[in-house]
Amino acid sequence: MWKLGIILFIIVGPTLAGIGALIPLTIHGVNEINPLLLAGCAIVGAVIAIPVSLFLGKKINDLISSKGGVTA
């Protein structure tokens, strides 16, 4: 599960960080952006990606083990 979670974090982390970075851009616009708010929202998105990737890793691991395959 941990191995799958780390591999999935490579994809899920930047995706959710990018979504988090889009939040202040849509609220304030490009010309009136606060760089600390942009970085803070991106960091929050990356932190949220940690349990999401572990959850997805557990679900994938459960699907593999229920079919009699080798677990990660």
Predicted confidence at residue 33, as pLDDT, reads 84
pLDDT at residue 71 tops 70? no
Burial of 20 (0-12, 13-18, 19+ CB in 10 A): buried
Q: What's the start-to-end Cα distance of the chain, in Å?
A: 6
Predicted confidence at residue 22, as pLDDT, reads 94
Express each pLDDT in 24-45 by its tens digit. Answer: 999 988 888 889 999 999 999 9
